[in-house]
Structure 1
Amino acid sequence: MASTSHKKYHVDDFNSKMFLDVYFSQGAQQSMQEVAVIYPIIQLHKAVTSGRIKGDTLTDITLGPLIHLLYTVCDIFKEINILKFNDECIKELKKWLDTHTECFDWSHTSKYITELYGGSSQIQEKEEELKSKIWYIVKCNIEKENITDPVVLPKSDCLLSAAVLEVISEDQEAFRKNFKKMVSLLKPGGQLLLFTVLEATFYHVGEHKFSFLKCDETFVRSVLCEQGFLIEFVDLFKKPSDSHLIDFNDIMFIIACKPMDT
């Protein structure tokens, strides 16, 4: 269970810019770049090129104001809706969307994605394409049955979630309930793209320590199966080295399909 002495991502003050600088910037530790940037980009790239990902609409629910995962899949979708649990992440995203002078520089990741796909498109063009497909940035509340209340979003073809359930859930029962609420935003037969941090208990943002709910692969698989999801693909990435910033064992990536009768 997460320690009550640690801050909560969706409740306490969260410095979104510092979070990006520490884990996702070009100057971040190499091990953090491997875990937080390179690994998820490669997995999503494989999923895209294999034809596993399909649909017109994507809902994104990820930890922090992340953009690089969306660069990887934006060619597929016509509409992308982003949900965040705190105001600071929304502010940071809107800086990027408005090309504010103080927005976070994602050019190192967009350049990497462009090279990975072997395309000739310019980085600026890729960024503008992604921005044009973002329809809504909505603050959500996991305590509500409709987590986007009062906004009612249409159900999406695909749901992308990364390291969110572990930071908003107090215990395993809350994880189950929160998962059920999140996937209610997905159409029957829709796809779930889930990145989960396994065996973690904390992560640092500056001097502040935030909590993770400690979960393992068996538990996460069981939660999906309880909701009728068909797990189509699983990959595990072992942490490259120990870090004082975060404790975890693996990153797990799952592609799963929501049952048609829900």
Structure 2
Amino acid sequence: MTRLRFSANLGFLWNDLPLPDAIRRAKAAGFAAVECHWPYDTDPAEVSGALAETGLPMLGINTITGGAGHFGLSACPGRIDDARAAIEQAVSYAEAIDAQAIHIMAGVAEGPEARDTFLGNLQFAAGLTDRMLLIEPLNAFDVPGYFLRRTDQAMEVIDDVAAPNLKLMFDCYHVARTEGDVVERLEKLLPVIGHIQIASVPDRSAPDHGELNYLKVFSTLLAFGWTRPIGAEYRPDGPTEGSLTWLSSATA
């Protein structure tokens, strides 16, 4: 029987621990993979060692934010050099730890020049690596002014860049907050989705309560044959271990 598998997002889960120790905790808790936000302060050899020890794949990392309140650089017209340096940094680190994907963070920006800048930087990234590149719409409640806000906008960007390794990161929490109809959008966009993330709506904690019915989301993904680990990117209400009761039922 096919079962869903899950990835621990170590930007939120066990984020009080050094990254290699957080990887080990994720393995002990029963996760099938890990992912993180910004691992750059950790020696990649230490990360690789923990991944090899546990057998967990690193699904993805983010490009840097570029400073407080920026949430990335790649759609910021005045920071193209910084954005490309951040992309090069992410590609180098991903290669060192064999991360499967890189989330190219757009940043706070708007307008046609920002869009052109984003397209150019994504094309630059696609020319550097064959690893999966991800772009993710973020909701305006959490990240006001973020360039990429909706899945239809993201799809236009993906179509225009036309790079085979550029995919959509579908965060159910962000999509629910901005657009609703998560299951309908999942069904429509599944062929171009590279990674899926989950959290409760609207409080972004464990995916076992709230407005979004994850039983329906999970059954839809099973029905459509989704096989990649789903990213648990939520903020635990207390110690991470205390927030994991959903995991055993979701993988049963």
Q: TM-score, normalised by structure 2?
A: 0.37
Q: TM-score, normalised by structure 1?
A: 0.36
Higher strand share: 1
Higher helix share: 2
